[in-house]
Amino acid sequence: MKIGITGTGSYIPTITTPNTEFENHTFLNTDGSPIAYSNEIIIEKFKKITGIAERRYANKEINTSDMAFLAAERAIADANIDKESIDYIIVAHNFGDISHGKTQGDTLPSLATRVKHLLQIQNPKCVAYDILFGCPGWIEGMIQGYAFIKAGLAKKCLIIGAETLSRVVDPYDRDSMIYSDGAGASIIEETNRTGQILAHNSATYAHTEANYLFFGESYNKNEQNDTRYIKMLGRKIYEFAVSNVPQAMQECLDTSGVDIEDVKKIFIHQANEKMDEAIVSRFYKLYNKTMPQDIMPMTIYKLGNSSVATVPTLFDLVTKGKLENQAVEKGDVVIFASVGAGMNINAVVYKY
């Protein structure tokens, strides 16, 4: 049985926010004290580490489920399937729908239910649900859909990753410059006309690592409200990721039976350019190899970190020929990999 991706789609918001937009922000340390550098230096260091020059934010009237719907529409059209034939809609996100200017996440009903409603799918046997798995959510949704199809419980699954992280950032935290908005979607089904999932691997580290990403107070100690924002222990996440993700990728590749020399592209979560390069470099070192040039397509420099949306958006752009100097051909073996809140990691080896 070949289970593969037959269609992809993405929604990239239209509001472009360059690093210069942060020049007049007030950035504070965790204790509320001013950072002892000018904003120009803060932004310069940020760009050097993350690779981010600009990011995309959703328009005020657009919410997470709206972007998920728009990406889903494009994936369904790309797969050329009847939407009523979809058995599962799985939406990966972290914070639900957060209306512009609001602070409360809305997950009632689920985002998957909202997407099904917007798609106007009438079939009650099309089951819609959300998953919370941090940034690796879309890949994990792919693994779940694959399992449903392999077990004979489904024929077609719509997997979506969508997020509006720009609405949960603390403006006094320099890490706020990392996050962005977007959505990516895919259709997977049993097929003879496209590639197939060869292997997958997932893990959750929740001993000392559980709270490396968390919801915390603003660094501005004068704030009177009780609003919480996305926060992270950046150094700990970096060390965790470069220590554990390469091994997860290796285990997945070894299970697939594919030689590392036959891997053409690695679609890794667009979290931080330096971190991603370190992960992929260490992965190749596990095989006593040097990381090939152009093995790792990147969009973080212009799209930022849109969490669960980064990998499906990246894959959609490359396969549609919309990312310069990056392409995949039929029969190419690629790896999807991600790391995020949980702490969760996963990988999929896929033959395109």
Residues 11 and 153 in one domain: yes
* The pLDDT of residue 117: 98
- Among 138, 166, 194, residue at a domain's last position: 194
Residues 243 and 188 in one domain: no
- Among 194, 211, 228, residue at a domain's last position: 194
DSSP result, 259-285: -GGGEEEEEE--S-HHHHHHHHHHHHH
Residues 248 and 146 in one domain: no
- Among 144, 168, 194, residue at a domain's last position: 194
* The pLDDT of residue 225: 81
3-state helix, strand and coil shares in percent for the chain, rounded to the nearest 5: 35, 25, 40
Cβ contact 207:92 at 8 Å: no
**Domain assignment of residue 31, given as a range:** 3-194
The pLDDT tens digits for 37-69 are: 899 999 999 999 999 999 999 999 999 999 999
| Confidence grade of residue 101 (pLDDT, cut at 50, 70, 90) | confident
Residues 85 and 141 in one domain: yes
* The pLDDT of residue 330: 93
CATH of the domain at 283: 3.40.47.10
Mean pLDDT value of segment 123-146: 98
Q: What residues contact 250, with CB distance under 8 A and at least 6 apart?
A: 283, 286, 287
* The pLDDT of residue 1: 77
Q: What residues contact 90, with CB distance under 8 A and at least 6 apart?
A: 112, 128, 129, 130, 131, 141, 144, 145, 157, 158, 159, 160
Mean pLDDT value of segment 150-165: 97
How many domains are there within the chain?
2
Which pTM was predicted?
0.95
